[in-house]
Chain A
């Protein structure tokens, strides 16, 4: 069995009347890259702060390994944080920033210098040790913050939207670099982000959070292919959700048409559900051709984006978005008003809860 580095048991955090984190339980195995993903205010940062020791849980237990750290101050926990705004000490040089934790832990001066140099090397900042933080670019400051945390070799590294302040190009570059560094040092990373692409690029496991709760926890593929709630389906990518009722392994839509569902997607569900299908999993063809999982419709609008064409199709079961890869040469576009048939493999479908009235 893999060792568990972080364990949350029924953790709740209330600020007055407001419940920021609501009965969250999870386990983060050693050496994994774990992401907490969700919109702002979903409780992901508060959860991270409770692991870091900056907030005390109102209820529940935070464990690092086997140790209950729920009420320990940050300086008694074997975790380090990369803060959203980096929080570099402006009055200290890059070296002294990175060596701060080592000095507090009584590491001798000579060893400190070696480890600081190694850490700066790891983040590609060798030779920048004498500078002050304000003499660095945003991306460099971000690297210093990372080195400052990693140099202490913590059990767990917490990252609070560490790439949020960087521009898109730099962010993509840093995503891959963070992943490389994590594999190199083998420390457990807990990463908080609201960017689904970032979470999917980097993490082994993602907890999708909404209103203080974990909506779904799983690997990127699992979350994308088999989202279990409408929130997850909508937060990670685009989904078509067709309302209906489960009947004999099919979903019967409002107009009476039967749509096949992947058997393993049914789970224990029954009654009112919504059938989900991703836009890129639908093939679009001209004319009416009734078949197994086919829906006929009329093109309402399209957008040609080069690599693909996006359609919005009006059908008897509602509006459906289609993402058609332009794999064949020449421009072939179904014009608005033309009749089309949409087909998909039932294996590509998933089910979420029915619409709440």
Chain B
């Protein structure tokens, strides 16, 4: 009895953790597995046989290839625009006292808390009322609208934690306001800006609901999948999905690895320094 309890006490947490990971990762595993399927008909739902064919022919479907290119173009532009805008907003919100600062702080959260369907519908209504024809540009505008919020939140965290004395030190050493920003502030908040840029890239690439309202005749990757689902999703979609997942995991793994190696090296050098003292 006691042995069992001890066994449970020791392993229950591990068991639950594994179950949690299975729950999260199983759908992705299925997507990845079916990217190697060789379906008999147009539906890729039953395992038929193993093949590399669709990994080799990943860009074989012109419509899918075009959709991917459009999505990447939009995601790149969105991440550049919203990162620049969001970083400037974050700096202003943390650094400057101005009339309307607290309401700006509140408004920034609005696009994140508004249901996408509401935002999509109201954006469409706005574009129609203004007589703007929907398409590439309106998708871009819509994506920037919600990505900016995420950038502001991410960069703000970094700027808030910034030690202002470092800027004082730079000015003390002769750097004027611009030089101080370029040589000290910007390099130090860069990791936050980088994270924000990646986040907006991912959010833009992934968005369907808002895009669907503002797309006009443009077809992005999620829109393509949505359309294809009714007539049978090609295996290439699984391949591209798996690729995106692997790239994301790869970037994360590199990040973790770099910080682990760097921490270990710092500890070793610091230990030497203490001994030498």
Contact = CB atoms under 8 A, between A and B. Distances in A.
A192 B277 CA distance: 27
Interface string A81-92: 101010111110
A14 B171 CA distance: 23
Interface string A73-84: 111000111010
Nearest to B273: A137
A74 B277 contact: no
B173 A137 contact: no
A149 B176 CA distance: 17
Interface in A269-296: none
Contact of A134 (B171, B266, B277): B266
A87 B163 contact: yes
Which of A83, A101, A104, A152 has its CB near the most chain B CB atoms (within 10 A)?
A: A104
A302 interface: no
Interface in A291-315: none
A231 interface: no
B165 A136 contact: no
Interface in A121-146: 131-132, 134-137, 139-140
Interface residues of A, number: 31
Interface in A106-121: none
Contact of B269 (A85, A89, A135): A135
A135 B171 CA distance: 24
B255 interface: no
Given A131-B269, A135-B266, A140-B273, A83 B171 contact: no
Nearest to A134: B266
A106 to B, nearest CB: 9
A105 B172 CA distance: 12
A87 B270 contact: no
Contacts of B179: 104
Interface in B171-200: 171-176, 179, 183-184, 187-188
A356 to B, nearest CB: 39
B277 to A, nearest CB: 6
Contact of B176 (A52, A75, A81, A85): A75
A81 B166 CA distance: 12
B170 interface: yes
B57 interface: no
Contacts of B172: 52-54, 74-75, 79-81, 149
A75 B169 contact: no
Contacts of B26: none
Contacts of A81: 168-169, 172
Contacts of B170: 89, 100
Contacts of A137: 270, 273-274, 277
A83 B165 contact: yes
Which of A75, A83, A139 has its CB near the most chain B CB atoms (within 10 A)?
A: A75
A155 interface: no
Contacts of B270: 134-137
Contact of B175 (A54, A87, A104): A104
A148 interface: yes
A73 B172 CA distance: 9
A89 B169 contact: yes
A95 to B, nearest CB: 14
B166 A80 contact: no
B184 A89 contact: yes
B273 A136 contact: yes
Contacts of B277: 137, 139
A87 B266 contact: no
A105 B175 CA distance: 8
B172 to A, nearest CB: 5
Given A135-B266, A135-B269, A100 B166 contact: no
Contacts of B273: 135-137, 140
Nearest to B184: A89
A73 B175 CA distance: 10
Given A90-B188, A91-B187, A105 B174 contact: yes
Contacts of A101: 173-174
Given A80-B173, A100-B170, A135-B270, 19 more contacts: A75-B173, A75-B176, A80-B172, A85-B163, A87-B163, A87-B166, A91-B187, A100-B175, A104-B175, A131-B269, A135-B265, A135-B266, A135-B273, A136-B270, A136-B273, A137-B273, A137-B277, A140-B273, A149-B173
13 contacts: A54-B168, A54-B172, A75-B172, A79-B172, A81-B169, A91-B187, A104-B179, A134-B266, A135-B266, A135-B270, A137-B273, A139-B277, A140-B273
Interface of A: 52-54, 73-75, 79-81, 83, 85, 87-91, 100-101, 104-105, 131-132, 134-137, 139-140, 148-149, 152
